[in-house]
Amino acid sequence: MPLANDALARRLDDVAALLEEQRANPFRVRAYRNAADALRQLDSPVASIYRDQGIAGLEELPGIGESIARSLRALLTTGRLPMLERLRGASDPEELLMSVPGIGRKTAERLHEELGIDSLEALELAAHDGRLAALPGIGSKRLLGIRDLLAARLGRLRPVGSERSAAPEPDVAELLDVDREYRQRTAQGSLHKIAPKRMNPDMAAWLPVLHTERAGRHYTALFSNTPRAHRLNRTHDWVVIYCDAGDGERQYTVVTSTHGHMEGRRVVRGREVDCAQHYGLPAMT
């Protein structure tokens, strides 16, 4: 059963409280609190608005922009909000991906660790741009079933990828600067730390979290807390950066290159050519 307006508002209040605790931009904190207040004053159930009008209807609600509308859609369709789980240190992307029929544990782990997918929106994009089809065991029939289910669950009214193409990808220089700020402030001990629920039996608050902005884009950065990062002892090297420009959240991972002509340099996975150009190096593999 979809969450009622008051329950949705409480989730937004939780996001605002955590953003404030983690020293995010006060305007962003206020936006979530104002949105929560607006939901409590609505006469109609948000679930009904979404059912009848899709995400476009959510975006037209007072005090609800594109970013918060996507948060409401996630809550209405899955009962979960990946952003809130991330801020709490309770993120478990594999479990979310496994809620889609046709995706088992091993596939979910590969989607998250190799492709950086941790939301249904990102999974839907991968189902259309060829990345999901390239995984072993994903045949054409299975792929079509996943596409259809995601379209129904996400209430897709716009073409897949339209949200993502509405704004250009951030330049690698910007991503590397966010990575620099995160690692620098981590070394200074100036960041709020959270206790991740996974891979943390002692529940120690060891994971620093950064909220920052560049050119109107909201960024959240954390060290990778995946099983693979732990296995390879890269939990204090791999930095996962979430970028929310309003048109959709995007995820990037920045690592220290261990081979080739960029050995020892910080590199954005999947954008190695751009990074080589940024460093003034030839674009070699």
Question: Which domains, from first to last, does the chain contain?
Answer: 5-88 (1.10.150.110), 93-163 (1.10.150.20), 168-278 (no CATH)
Helix 26-40 × helix 66-78 angle, to 10°: 60
Residue whose structure tokens are 């950086």: 116
Instruction: Kindly report the backbone phi and psi dihedral angles of residue 158, in degrees, each rounded to the nearest multiple of 5, phi listed first.
Output: -110, 155
Could you tell me which of 220, 203, 202, 224 has the C-alpha nearest to residue 211? 220
Cβ-based neighbours of 104, under 8 Å, separated by 6 or more: 98
Task: Give the HSE-up count for residue 112: Cα atoms under 13 Å, Cβ half-sphere.
Answer: 24
Helix (H, G, I), strand (E, B) or coil at 185: helix
Q: What is the pLDDT along the chain (285 residues), one digit of tens a residue?
A: 789 999 999 999 999 999 999 999 999 999 999 999 999 999 999 999 999 999 999 999 999 989 999 999 989 988 889 899 989 988 777 888 888 888 888 888 888 777 778 777 778 888 888 888 888 888 888 889 898 888 877 765 444 554 444 567 899 999 999 999 999 999 999 999 999 988 899 999 999 999 999 998 999 999 999 888 898 999 999 999 999 876 678 889 999 999 888 999 999 998 999 999 999 998 665
pTM (two decimals)? 0.82
